[in-house]
Amino acid sequence: MLKLSLLLLQNLARNPVRTALTMLGTIVLVVAVTFIWSILTFLDEATAEKNSNLKAIVSEQWRVPSQMPQSYARPLQEGAARDADDYKVPPQDSMTWSFFGGSLDPASKTFENAMFAFCLEPDKLLTMMDELDELQPEPKAELAAAVERMKKNRRGAIVGRGALEKLKKQVGDRIVLHGINYKDINLELEIVGTFPEGRYDPLAAINIEYLIAALDVYKREHRGTPHPLEDKTLNLVWLRVPDMATFQKVSQQISESPSFTNPAVKIETQAAGIGTWMEAYRDLIWAFRFLIAPAIIATLASIIANAISISVRERQLEFAVMKVLGFRPNQLLGLVIGESLLLGGLAGLIGSAGTLYIVNNYFGGIKFPIAFFGIFMIPTAALVWGPAIGIGASFIGSFLPAWSARSVKAAEVFAKVA
């Protein structure tokens, strides 16, 4: 095996420029496929139903975006439990979301000065937010300290690193966020912390108590006239339940409750809810999965096929001599395919491993906003994808050139030389 590997490496080293260019092309295309598959894998996992420790989303039934009265918050957080045998959701397993979009410049609202925030109970950032509830000790301690500052100062806001960079702000700065959806509601905020780098980079979190207080101020300043959205501030309620049976029970409790009829509400699993939100991106995701990724792999196979074909044509005399020395046709076939598999597998591993390390450690993931997902990390599975893509494309691309090498007729080759 060692001698065979050395022989394959020696053959690849005969034309280092061609080998290097083929490897470079393979690496670039493997990186592109890794990007696409990382995004698709994350979305597949996000929309996959769980059987235990699953989350449910309660929202308005007939309107998007959902707009429910704040009075729905408490009973929905408890799962609409009314009777003794009903399942009551524990306080640590529920949270509410209110969406606030604003701009730092009331006169000129642009993407560069805009910020989108969740208004919620600060403690729930540590217990209910995906990924934030599974942080390592050091970043978890930093986030917990920021949450404590947010609890003590209801004007405190935790802002993602990407949003801070875009707004050219830093922790400790004070800003005024002029409402876009909450017209004439201006929140004076102090940035008390930031999210760990990753998924929440473009977002911010604001204490829900501050939004409610700002709506009360608006009402006083307008002689008792409430803000148009005062009774529509609750956008989503998140619940965590231990299993699907409990979800079905809570779903029945909420659906049968007479408290949620105007407006009516619906409850669905997190996976189903995300799937609904992703409908707007269905065509893009389909194109990634069934057009772009296969086209890249086909291009990779054609590049390898071209490189191996040139090599085989140049080595006709060599293959003829090898046949005279006793090499069987299938051995020549295996030799050429082996060279291609070695090149493709090595290039695939370099491409995927390099992408995993550089993108995750230096760029904080793939910044490609889809719905409310802004960043996608490269999974460790990429270490398998890369070599698999390289080897698969190499086999497809090298089979016909290798068959050509297998079919070399020594007498014809020697006749041409003579």
The percent of residues above 70 in pLDDT, for the chain, comes to: 96
Continuous segment of H or E residues that includes residue 199:
none
DSSP 113: G
Same domain, 241 and 102: yes
Global pTM value: 0.75
Has residue 124 been placed in a domain?
yes
Same domain, 37 and 67: no
* Residue 94 near residue 129 (C-beta atoms within 8 A): no
Each residue of 348-399: pLDDT tens digit?
Answer: 999 999 999 999 888 878 888 776 677 888 999 999 999 999 999 999 999 9
Continuous segment of H or E residues that includes residue 86:
none
* Residue 191 near residue 185 (C-beta atoms within 8 A): no
Has residue 207 been placed in a domain?
yes
Has residue 272 been placed in a domain?
no
Number of structural domains, the chain?
Answer: 2
* Residue 157 near residue 206 (C-beta atoms within 8 A): yes
Same domain, 84 and 38: no
* Residue 369 near residue 280 (C-beta atoms within 8 A): no
For residues 387-398, one letter each, b for 16 or more C-beta atoms within 10 angstroms of the residue's C-beta and e for the rest, the string is: bbbbbbbbbbbb
Q: What is the rounded CA–CA span in Å between residue 68 and residue 66?
A: 6
User: Whose CA is closest to 401, among 323, 319, 328, 327?
Assistant: 319
- Of 263, 290, 306, the residue that ends a domain is 263
Q: What is the rounded CA–CA span in Å between residue 305 and residue 309?
A: 6
| Residue given tokens 């802004």 in the structure block | 374
Same domain, 110 and 248: yes
Residue span of the structural domain in which 29 resides: 2-46+282-417
* Residue 377 near residue 198 (C-beta atoms within 8 A): yes
Q: How confident is the model at residue 188 (pLDDT cuts 50, 70, 90)?
A: very high
Structure-block tokens of residue 376 = 């996608």
Residue 100 backbone phi and psi in degrees, to 5: -130, 115
Each residue of 35-94: pLDDT tens digit?
Answer: 999 999 988 887 777 777 789 999 999 888 899 999 999 999 999 999 889 999 999 999
Same domain, 250 and 327: no
Same domain, 206 and 309: no
Same domain, 72 and 104: yes
Same domain, 34 and 80: no
Same domain, 144 and 173: yes
Q: Give 299-361 as a DSSP string.
A: HHHHHHHHHHHHHHHHTHHHHHHHHHTT--HHHHHHHHHHHHHHHHHHHHHHHHHHHHHHHHH
| All residues at 6 or more sequence positions from 134 whose CB lies less than 8 Å from its CB, including other chains | none
Has residue 113 been placed in a domain?
yes
Has residue 163 been placed in a domain?
yes
Same domain, 239 and 304: no
Continuous segment of H or E residues that includes residue 243:
strand 236-243
* Residue 155 near residue 187 (C-beta atoms within 8 A): yes
Same domain, 196 and 245: yes
Same domain, 141 and 89: yes
Has residue 101 been placed in a domain?
yes
Q: What is the rounded CA–CA span in Å between residue 405 and residue 339?
A: 13
Has residue 56 been placed in a domain?
no
Show the CA angle centred on residue 114, arms to residues 110 and 119, nearest 5°: 155
Has residue 398 been placed in a domain?
yes
Whether residue 324 is predicted with pLDDT greater than 80 in this model: the reply is yes
